Structures are given as C-alpha cells and as structure tokens.
Amino acid sequence: MKFISKFKAALLAIGTAAALTAQDAPPAAAPAAEAPKFTESQLLETFGWFVGRRIGLSELGFNAEQTAAIIKGIQTSASGADSPYKIDEVGPELDKFMQAKQAEYTAKQRKKSDDASAKFFDTIKDKKGVVALPSGLYYEILTEGAGAYPKATDTVKVHYTGTLVDGTVFDSSVQRGEPAEFPLNGVIPGWTEGVQKINKGGKIKLYVPYQLAYGEEGRPPTIPPAATLVFEVELLDIKAPSAAAPSEPVSVTTEPVTVETK
C-alpha cells in the first residue's frame, strides 16, 4: 500500500507541476503529438516489476511455481473477485508460511554477512593504527582532538558517516548537512564504547561487529542481518548530563540514506 501511495503522490506531483507550468506559459500552438516511447504492455510490465520488487519476490526465493500462484492471486484480486479462501481460516497458515520464508532469507543473509565480516576483519586487524578491544570493537584515530573526552553519560554532538563493509552508505549526517546530537549511552554499544576513545575535535573510525551494532536481525532494508558496520565519527561537542530524566534510547540510523559508493 505504501508503494501505491507513493506512486499516486508522484503522479499528482507531476500533474500539479504541469498545471502550474501551463498556467504561467503564454498561449502557443499545440505541438504535434509524439509517439509514446513505450507500449502499454511495457508500462504495465514495469509496474508489475515494481510491485514484485516491493514485496520481495526475489529476496524471499519463490520458485517459478510459487510465483505463478502469486500471479494467479493478483489476477483474482484484479478481477474484483473475493479471496479464493476464507481469510480467517487461511490467515494463520499463511503467516507461518511467510515467517518460514523470512527466516530462510534471514539465515542466508546472516551467512553472507558472516563471510563478508570475517574477510573484512582479516584485512584490517593488522593495519597500522587500528586498535582491537576485548569487546570485539576495532577503532582507528584519524584526527587527534584537543578537548575533553566524553563519558557514556554525556550527550555528544557529532558528524558521522556509516557504511557497510562493501562501502555502501546507509546513513550520514554529513550528507544531510546537519550534525547529530544524542546521549552516548542511548546508541549502539559500539558507539558508546568507541566514541569515548576520542576527545573533542577529534575524528575516529569505528569497525563495529554486529554484536555491538544491530545484532543478528539488523535494520532492514538499510542494514542487513548480522552486518558489520563502519563509521567515521567527528566529535564536535560534549554536553554533561542534565538533572532531567534520561531520554528514550535513539538510533543512529533515524534518517537512513542509501548511496552506492562501490
């Protein structure tokens, strides 16, 4: 439903822009009609591709027979007919089936992440300047600061960029153009421990295994299950805790962006 809403919003935006343009423009002769670049069939095929991508047909690993059954259900729905089976009866079994498909997908993603993380840590563990901590966190001081070091109970103001081990950016205050501010004990453990290793004005690179990040489940769709994360963090300011009640824990990835850097 979210996809359809976005699709409608995009069409409305296009229509509004066209109306405004037409209103401001001087009268002109009607242009010659141009032949469409794509046939109706091609447009509908692309729409179907979007629908399939949004509901994860490929990621969940449906085979040809299963996909055909899904398409049959879509055709039944498009015809206006009722569900082929009573929802209150088929619903519980459908939930179990989809949960099993999701578990299978997650297990494959965890294995993929584990393999990628093992190779990644092999490449950095002997890198000059990289320090390994007993918790499993690795860090590297990029720029020494000149101020105080934060405590876990402090609120920090930072600029940061977070990537997967393949270089894909999943979150960046730098790209948003606005520093982030949060209590240091209210984010992932890798941040809580790692940011305390730099002082104000310093910059650090954190290599965070999934156990100190978002765990085996990850934060789909931007952070895969069991993903090792890499952060470059610049510590801009430190604020001591106030007497007020502590705020709810926050996530570093509140405004995710996805930018391929490969």
Active-site residue, selected from the candidate residues 120, 138, 139, 188: 188
Is residue 230 a part of any domain in this protein? yes
What CATH number should be reported for the domain holding residue 191? 3.10.50.40
In a domain, 119, yes or no: no
Establish if 20 belongs to a structural domain: no
List the structure tokens of 224.
């895969």
Select which of 138, 160, 182, 207 is catalytic. 160
Q: Look up the domain containing 161 and give its range.
A: 132-239
Q: Which residue among the candidates 120, 139, 170, 210 is catalytic per the annotation?
A: 170
Determine, yes or no, domain membership for 28.
Answer: no
Residues facing residue 181 across a β-bridge:
157
With beta carbons less than 8 A apart as the criterion, state whether 169 and 162 touch: yes
Confidence band for 28, pLDDT divided at 50, 70 and 90 = low
State yes or no: is 170 an active-site residue.
yes
Q: Mark whether 231 is an active-site residue.
A: yes
* Higher per-residue pLDDT: 25 or 181: 181
Tens of pLDDT along 152-198?
999 999 999 999 999 999 999 999 999 999 999 999 999 999 999 99
Catalytic one of 120, 138, 182, 231 = 231
- The tally of domains found in the chain comes to 1
Q: What is the pLDDT of residues 43-99, one digit of tens each?
A: 998 998 888 888 777 778 888 898 899 989 999 998 999 999 999 999 999 999 999
Q: List, in order, residues 6 or more apart from 198 with CB less than 8 Å away.
A: 141, 144, 145, 149, 204, 233, 235
Quick one: average pLDDT of 209-234? 92
Candidate list 120, 214, 223, 238, residue with the active-site label: 214
> Collapsing DSSP states into helix, strand and coil, what is residue 92?
helix
Averaging pLDDT over each range in 75-89, 107-121, 197-211, which range is the top one? 197-211
Any domain includes 33: no
Candidate list 139, 171, 204, 207, residue with the active-site label: 171
pLDDT for the residue numbered 252: 52
- Model confidence at 15, pLDDT cuts 50, 70, 90, reads very low
Instruction: Name the residue with higher pLDDT: 67 or 232.
Output: 232
Cα–Cα–Cα angle for 33, 38, 43, rounded to 5 degrees:
125
Q: Is 171 a catalytic residue?
A: yes
pTM of the model: 0.66
- Per the annotation, the verdict on 214 as an active-site residue is yes
Q: Is 181 within the bounds of a domain? A: yes
88 assigned to active site:
no
Please indicate, yes or no, if residue 71 is contained in any of the structural domains. no
Is residue 125 situated within a structural domain?
no
Say yes or no to pLDDT of 216 above 80. yes
Assess contact for 198 and 204: CB atoms under 8 A: yes
Whether 182 is catalytic is no
